[in-house]
Amino acid sequence: MIQLKPDCLIFRTSDGDQIPCSAEWVTLELMGNSAALIDPEVVQNAAAAVLHYFKHELGKEFVSVAEFAVALEKALHGFGLTIYADDRPQAGTAQKKSVVNFNLQELADGVDKGFELLFFPNLREQLKNKMEQAPDVVRFHGLRGCVKQLVGTARWTRRCQNLNDQIVDYLRHCWQTDGAGRSCALIVL
């Protein structure tokens, strides 16, 4: 058997084919247009984390594309990102590429220190407003600054991490319930 490059795995497709590919290349393919909205270093680190998981922790060289996609979603979640892949458009259909951005820092500016309870309903309302525009991607950015402002600290603390996770989970929950039936990706940076 030919030895693989250190950054490669053998992927099993749904057709039963086995294709050796770089983990980073497969990551970029699975993320599609969403990869361009994220810092390339984060994408590389996520691919490296998933590669390490399969090769070193599980001792696998053969992985299905579905297994890799699930592990990639978890790795990106560990980086504080929430990305869901929708089905690709079918041939012959028009492909729009609209991205709606929102700065979470601006939302935090309207809320005084310690009033996170006012922040969450406003956040849900902003997500609903963005979803009404029927975009392909809704991108919330400025999460780290927003969290530090809401907590009232200059340094990242355990309380900051907890609030960060709450905001991401809340956005994910709202996206799944309020955006049901819509084909849209959610990115939180």
The alpha carbon torsion through 74, 76, 81, 82 (nearest 10 deg) reads: -50
> Which token pair is 163?
């609030």
Q: Which of 171, 113, 109 is nearest to 140 (CA)?
A: 171
Strands 185-188 and 137-141, bridge-based pairing: parallel
Query: In a structure prediction context, what are the per-residue pLDDT tens digits for the chain, which is 189 residues long?
Result: 456 677 777 777 666 777 777 777 777 777 776 666 777 777 777 778 888 888 878 888 788 877 878 887 777 777 667 665 444 443 444 444 578 888 998 888 877 655 667 889 989 999 988 888 888 788 888 889 999 989 889 998 999 999 999 998 899 888 888 765 567 778 888
- Residues paired with residue 111 on neighbouring β-strands, in sequence order: none
Question: Whats the size of the chain, residue-wise?
Answer: 189
3-state SS assignment for residue 62: strand
Separation between Cα atoms, residue 124 and residue 24, nearest integer Å: 34
pTM of this prediction exceeds 0.75: no
Please report which helix (H) or strand (E) contains residue 29, including its range. helix 23-31
- For the chain, the domains span 8-78, 99-188
Strands 62-64 and 8-12, bridge-based pairing: parallel
